[in-house]
């Protein structure tokens, strides 16, 4: 018979439904809240879920949306509520529920609904990965809010410090259901009016501005002039500054348009405590989408990921999780697996550093030259992370900023830039 997961915060209802369904020959698992439901769902892969709407931690419809956004809605879900309304039933069905039970649940109604739901075939569905799938990460929930807030006020949004997969995840978050997606980076032909008309209401995406050729840049200009006409949203990503793109030959007017409103991705290296949660969620979604074998992280492995200095930021984390899942020999990814995948060439260089031409300078100039080299070394080594630089140099942050400004070195402070 079927494996059924019952999710309800009322013990009496859980036990009653379990008894009834067990008598029918089903294997029943119970969860008292959304957190338990996530865990049990991952362990047992149920054939059917009976999900209460009103729960103390996360309501049932929010959990349903989370599963749907992450490609985890691989089984039929029947919603339950003692305060059911037409609106809540319609909302649940729209999100992906196959039926709705109103409490108190009559025995015959329960059995009929369960029988019907188990016959319901859920079509294999691999929706694009979006930030909705990371709803348990405060860092990414905040990023999602900032993206939506910025996108609501502009048709052109620049993603700073982002390219590739993480940029696409952000852009897909802004894509309305069933709306078109047009990747300008992947097109090597001239953009046409018909192509934009077919994408009306959707997203135009550029994964990395620096990689666009001259024809693709012309396509970008063509699209920018017609965004409003076709109700299109352009989301472009870059790890390079606007000035660097200008030095590479981009038209100033185009760069001015692209740089009007932007959102910068948070730096993973500044949020190590968020890494385990994000890595775990990412792994779960890769497994559910059958992109990697079924794997879980050990606690020690997650801690190793937390302690790693992510110089490659989001792209490195995404690639690392995928490679760990593919390379691990057991179902559980161990700390040894992490150390193996993250292994770096740590052989110290035997090349002597260049001699510093300081000795022929007056003391003041020589000291200033040394300090500039000293701080440039730490800025590069810590990837501009001012907290770690302050720790390494033993300076208070205020003194550190003042010293860097005095030496004419860029601090990379976000307050020095305009951010949406």
- The pLDDT tens digits for 76-129 are 999 998 876 667 777 888 888 999 998 889 999 999 999 999 988 765 556 788
Residue 357, pLDDT above cutoff 70: no
The strand ranges marked E within 17-83 are 27-31, 48-52, 77-81
- CATH 3.40.50.2300 applies to domain 3-118: yes
| CATH architecture of the domain formed by 131-264 | 3-Layer(aba) Sandwich (3.40)
56-75 pLDDT, tens digit each: 888 899 899 888 876 678 89
**CATH topology classification for 363-416:** Arc Repressor Mutant, subunit A (1.10.10)
3-118 against 131-264: fold identical: yes
Cα–Cα distances (Å) from 83 to 86, 88, 105, 238, in that order, read 10, 9, 12, 48
The Cα–Cα gap between 339 and 217 comes to: 41
Label each residue of 184-231 as H, E or C.
HHHCCCCCCHHHHHHCCCCEEEECCHHHCCHHHHHHHHHHHCCCCCCC
Q: What is the pLDDT of residue 85?
A: 65
| Per-domain residue ranges of the chain | 3-118, 131-264, 268-341, 363-416
Q: How confident is the model at residue 226 (pLDDT cuts 50, 70, 90)?
A: very high
| CATH architecture of the domain formed by 268-341 | Orthogonal Bundle (1.10)
Mean pLDDT of 319-342: 93
Selected residue with higher pLDDT from 348 and 312: 312
Lowest mean pLDDT among 172-176, 191-195, 354-358: 354-358
380-413 pLDDT, tens digit each: 877 788 888 887 888 887 878 888 888 778 765 4
Asked whether the beta carbons of 289 and 126 are under 8 A apart, the reply is yes
Residue 346, pLDDT above cutoff 70: no
């Amino acid at each position: 018979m079927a494996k059924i997961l019952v999710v309800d915060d009322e013990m009496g209802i859980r036990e009653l439904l379990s008894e009834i369904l067990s008598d029918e020959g089903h294997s029943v698992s119970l969860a008292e809240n959304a957190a338990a439901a996530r865990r049990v769902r991952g362990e047992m892969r149920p054939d059917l879920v009976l999900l209460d709407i009103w729960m103390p931690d996360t309501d049932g419809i929010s959990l349903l949306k989370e599963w749907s956004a992450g490609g985890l809605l691989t089984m039929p879900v029947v919603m339950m509520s003692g305060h059911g309304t037409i609106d809540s039933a319609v909302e649940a069905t729209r999100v992906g529920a196959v039926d709705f039970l109103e409490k108190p649940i009559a025995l015959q109604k329960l059995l009929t609904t369960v029988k019907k739901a188990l016959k319901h075939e859920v079509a294999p569905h691999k929706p694009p990965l979006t930030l909705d799938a990371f709803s348990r990460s405060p860092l990414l929930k905040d990023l999602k809010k900032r993206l939506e807030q910025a996108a609501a006020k502009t048709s052109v949004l620049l993603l700073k410090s982002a390219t590739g997969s993480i940029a696409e995840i952000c852009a897909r978050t802004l894509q309305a259901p069933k709306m078109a997606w047009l990747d300008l980076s992947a097109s090597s032909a001239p953009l046409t009016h018909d192509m934009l008309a077919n994408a009306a209401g959707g997203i135009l995406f550029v994964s990395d501005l620096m990689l666009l050729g001259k024809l693709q840049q012309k396509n970008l200009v063509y699209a920018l002039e017609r965004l409003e006409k076709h109700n299109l949203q352009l989301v472009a990503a870059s790890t390079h500054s606007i000035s660097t793109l200008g030095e590479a030959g981009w038209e100033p007017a185009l760069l001015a348009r692209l740089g009007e409103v932007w959102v910068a991705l948070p730096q993973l290296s500044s949020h190590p405590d968020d890494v385990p949660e994000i890595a775990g969620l990412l792994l779960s979604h890769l497994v559910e989408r059958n992109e990697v074998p079924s794997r879980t992280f050990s606690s020690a492995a997650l801690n190793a990921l937390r302690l790693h200095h992510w110089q490659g930021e989001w792209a490195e984390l995404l690639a690392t999780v995928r490679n760990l899942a593919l390379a691990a020999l057991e179902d559980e990814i161990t700390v040894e697996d992490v150390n193996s995948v993250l292994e770096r060439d740590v052989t110290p260089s035997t090349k002597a550093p260049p001699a510093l031409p300081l000795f022929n300078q007056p003391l003041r100039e020589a000291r200033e030259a040394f300090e500039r080299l000293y701080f440039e070394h730490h800025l590069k080594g810590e990837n501009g992370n001012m907290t770690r630089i302050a720790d390494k140099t033993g300076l208070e942050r205020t003194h550190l900023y003042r010293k860097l400004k005095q030496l004419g070195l860029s601090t990379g402070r976000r307050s020095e830039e305009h951010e949406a």
